[in-house]
DNA sequence: CTGAAAGCGCTAACAT
DNA sequence: ATGTTAGCGCTTTCAG
């Protein structure tokens, strides 16, 4: 095979010019049937494969979409988003390059640099770490989409309407007779962080609103902490620790609302250690629906439209390329309450 | 910014030739200190970023490593491998493109084609789906590494020594007094599949060997099935179903050895449904150590060196590039028995 | 120490 | 309907 076949080799072999070969390869322009067949045969014989480097260089655009994923471990949420991104990208003829930035702004910056170097068609931040990096990419004219926890008003954004599903979960608990309902999760967004913190704000907000009629909030039953540790399982620690404290205290909650499945897994462990039965003795609800199907009992949770998030992100990138406009659109998808087996009426 | 800065722009700005600019950028060749400073300043001012397309085209090699991942959902094992690949690649100055092939040979073939088009420096199959695809890549002269379940003797391979750790797990169970130990897992390798099936062969082999002294194997206590469903949670179904049957039968096992954590999660669910306490009433051991920390109780499992697998794969790619030889080396890493809380002495 | 120029493989005018 | 050719942005001789 002496080196890899190029267009020229194919052209020589088929006895035509290189232009003709590109024409049949990209099928544009007129090519006689006979010629086309001859070219195709030559391609076959030489084992020719287009050199994407050359093609993209020439075309002045690449068919690669860069995907910056915040973290893949321990939370599989982003893995699902990545699936959606890949699905849609492939369907639209794009290739995805994924970089896991591990919640680190510096790694994220590096990732952006790399992608910009590849002259990617667009950049998806599956939850940006730093708004600066988003701004940087936007400033260089690259189509950008921020998924789930936008850090900046720049570029397109896709978020999830957490509130209704969370409210549904709370109503469910209330209808079951629970009044002492605890909450573990990330701290709701502060002023500074409004955009990125909306997820926690919405989740906790739903809890707060639902508890309103019950009486003044018992802040002893609320525990905030890190949701995405820097790739550690710290989140699990948080759920576990909170539950241990509550369960060992005099007047324990009868239900716990968690802002992630990982947190809920920790609560389940604490309960298990104390020989408490879930849901008979304690009801638990998770969020994200990532671990839910693996836990015992099957965890009632709130499903994030992870895959659709990914698909939509690619759609938005493609739209931006087509329209050429950087007009920052904002898409909103819905979460879904999934009733399983981890809730039951209040033990009397 | 009127378009993206190129070398030429930088050169003009710095009042030097393009060659000088590359020299400072890649720092090879002599450049006067003063000139270097001027160039660097120009780079800064123009916001220049190298065009990787052009650079790689020219250099006739790309600094991208293609990673074909068999599946990311539901088993997070490959996600961890991917982490290792990324870590090591970055450390060595490579970029990783990842494609999730979902256990589909056709998707895998497509992935290989794409990567070949990008003239990747090497290809990592984190468990190849089809030996044909591996062979194809090797035939085209690309450095190849197969991770964990090689399908072909071509290229480099990295596998895991499952046997010792699995034997340790079995000894542990035996020492605890268990005699009726069940096994769920993938079917051990058949003649045709020897290479890829070694994992299951080793795992089951350890079980078989350990049970030898106990007496003739009760095949009622052995259940084979699909371990990696085509991205469904079928694996969980298998563990759950097997456990249900065993637990509802007259003489249930006192311990279950599972060839994956997902399978173990299913067993835990079946036990939980029947109000059986793990480990008091039933001991359970998983494999892979993926879900172990999230389950209740904390699951005793066997940890695969996932990250190291990924790192080693990149190392082997780099070696191949350096040596230019396609001599198929074979690396073997060890698994590790992790004792947690899901085993206890046989209930009398 | 630095600049000019060739050319990587491909696409897209522009000819014919 | 097909061939010729000029670059895309970069690296790398080869001169100076």
Structure tokens given for B88: 């090591």
Confidence of residue A214 (pLDDT cuts 50, 70, 90): very high
Residues A122 and A183 in one domain: no
Query: Does residue A231 carry a pLDDT above 50?
Result: no
When CB atoms are compared, the residue of A62, A97, A262 closest to B294 is: A262
Contact B195, B147 (CB under 8 A): no
Residues B250 and B175 in one domain: yes
Name B302's bridge partners. Answer: B337
B55 falls within a domain: no
Host domain of residue B314: 62-160+306-334
B50 to chain A, any CB pair closer than 8 A? The answer is yes
Q: Is residue B20's beta carbon less than 7 angstroms from any atom in nucleic acid strand C?
A: yes
CA angle B184/B189/B192 to nearest 5° reads 150
DSSP code per residue over B195-243: HHHHHHHHHHHHHHHHHGGG-S--GGGEEE--SS-SSSSHHHHHHHHHH
A341 falls within a domain: no
Residues A178 and A272 in one domain: yes
Residues B214 and B275 in one domain: yes
B340 falls within a domain: no
Query: Does residue A228 carry a pLDDT above 70?
Result: no
Confidence of residue B226 (pLDDT cuts 50, 70, 90): confident
Q: Which of residues 286-325 of B touch A (CB under 8 A)?
A: 291, 293-298
What are the tens digits of pLDDT across the range A247-259? Answer: 999 999 999 999 9
Residues A133 and A84 in one domain: yes
Query: Does residue A313 carry a pLDDT above 90?
Result: yes
Residues A170 and A254 in one domain: yes
DSSP code per residue over B179-195: --EEEEEPPPP-GGGHH
User: Mean per-residue pLDDT for A215-228?
Assistant: 90
What are the tens digits of pLDDT across the range B28-44? Answer: 888 999 999 999 999 99
Residues A144 and A197 in one domain: no
Contact B302, B337 (CB under 8 A): yes
Residues A243 and A274 in one domain: yes
Q: How far is the CA of B20 from the C1' of D16 (A)?
A: 15
pTM (predicted TM-score): 0.90
Query: Does residue A1 carry a pLDDT above 50?
Result: no
Contact B309, B124 (CB under 8 A): no
* A265–B295 C-beta distance less than 8 A: yes
By CB atoms closer than 10 A (0-12, 13-18, 19+), residue A59 is exposed
What are the C-alpha distances in Å from B205 to residues A311, B193, B202?
43, 16, 5
B274 to chain A, any CB pair closer than 8 A? The answer is no
Give the nucleotide nearest to A34 (CA→C1'): D1
Residues B195 and B298 in one domain: yes
B339 falls within a domain: no
- Residue A265 phi/psi, 5-degree rounding, is -60, -40
Residue from A4, A2, A12, A44 nearest A25 by CA = A44
* A50–B72 C-beta distance less than 8 A: no
* A236–B294 C-beta distance less than 8 A: yes
Residues A276 and A298 in one domain: yes
Half-sphere exposure of B222 (CA within 13 A, CB side): 13
What are the tens digits of pLDDT across the range B184-221? Answer: 999 887 655 567 788 999 999 999 999 999 999 999 99
Those nucleotides of strand D lying less than 7 Å from any protein Cβ are 1-5, 7-13
When CB atoms are compared, the residue of B4, B47, B79 closest to A73 is: B79
DSSP H or E segment with residue A156 = strand A156-161
By C-alpha to C1' distance, C13 is nearest to A19
B72 falls within a domain: yes
The DSSP bridge pattern shows strands B301-303 and A283-285 to be unpaired
What are the tens digits of pLDDT across the range A171-188? Answer: 999 999 999 999 999 988
Contact A115, B49 (CB under 8 A): no
Structure tokens given for B21: 């600019």
Q: Is residue A16's beta carbon less than 7 angstroms from any atom in nucleic acid strand D?
A: yes
Confidence of residue B52 (pLDDT cuts 50, 70, 90): very high
Beta strands per DSSP E along chain B: 64-69, 95-100, 122-126, 144-147, 156-161, 181-185, 222-224, 255-258, 283-285, 301-303, 330-334, 336-338
What are the tens digits of pLDDT across the range A7-65? Answer: 999 999 999 999 999 999 998 888 899 999 999 999 999 999 999 999 999 998 888 99
B126 falls within a domain: yes
Contact A42, A17 (CB under 8 A): no
CATH number at residue A272: 3.40.50.2300
A1 falls within a domain: no
Confidence of residue A273 (pLDDT cuts 50, 70, 90): very high
By C-alpha to C1' distance, C8 is nearest to B58
Predicted local distance difference test score (pLDDT) of residue B235: 53
Confidence of residue A191 (pLDDT cuts 50, 70, 90): low
What are the tens digits of pLDDT across the range B284-299? Answer: 999 999 999 999 999 9
Please tell me the total count of domains within chain B.
3
Those nucleotides of strand C lying less than 7 Å from any protein Cβ are 1-5, 7-14
The helix/strand/coil state of B66 is strand
């Amino acid at each position: 095979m002496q080196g890899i076949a190029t267009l020229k080799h194919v052209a020589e072999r088929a006895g035509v010019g290189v232009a003709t070969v590109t024409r049949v390869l990209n099928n544009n322009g007129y090519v006689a049937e006979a010629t086309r067949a001859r070219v195709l045969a030559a391609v076959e014989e030489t084992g020719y494969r287009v050199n994407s480097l050359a093609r993209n260089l020439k075309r002045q655009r690449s068919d690669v979409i860069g995907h910056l994923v915040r973290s893949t471990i321990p939370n599989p949420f982003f893995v699902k988003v990545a699936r959606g991104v890949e699905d849609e990208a492939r369907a639209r003829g794009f290739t995805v390059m994924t970089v896991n930035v591990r919640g680190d702004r510096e790694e994220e910056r590096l990732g952006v640099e790399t992608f910009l170097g590849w002259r990617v068609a667009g950049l998806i931040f599956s939850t940006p770490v730093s708004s600066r990096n988003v701004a940087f990419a936007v400033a260089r004219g690259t189509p950008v989409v921020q998924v789930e926890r936008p850090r900046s008003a720049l570029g397109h954004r896709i978020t999830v309407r957490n509130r209704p599903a969370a409210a549904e979960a709370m109503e469910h608990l209330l209808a079951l007779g629970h009044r002492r309902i605890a909450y573990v999760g990330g701290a709701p967004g502060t002023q500074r962080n409004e955009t990125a913190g909306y997820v926690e704000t919405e989740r906790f907000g739903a809890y707060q609103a639902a508890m309103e009629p019950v009486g003044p909030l018992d802040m002893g039953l609320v525990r905030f902490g890190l949701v995405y540790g820097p790739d550690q399982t710290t989140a699990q620690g948080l759920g576990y620790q909170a539950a241990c404290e509550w369960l060992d205290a005099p007047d324990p909650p009868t239900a716990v609302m968690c802002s992630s499945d990982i947190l809920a897994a920790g609560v389940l462990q604490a309960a298990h250690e104390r020989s408490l039965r879930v849901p008979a003795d304690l009801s638990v609800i998770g969020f994200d629906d990532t671990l839910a199907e693996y836990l015992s009992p099957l965890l009632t949770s709130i499903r994030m439209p992870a895959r659709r998030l990914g698909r939509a992100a690619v759609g938005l990138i493609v739209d931006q390329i087509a329209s050429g406009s950087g007009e920052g659109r904002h898409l909103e998808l819905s979460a879904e309450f999934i009733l399983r087996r981890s809730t039951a009426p209040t033990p009397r």
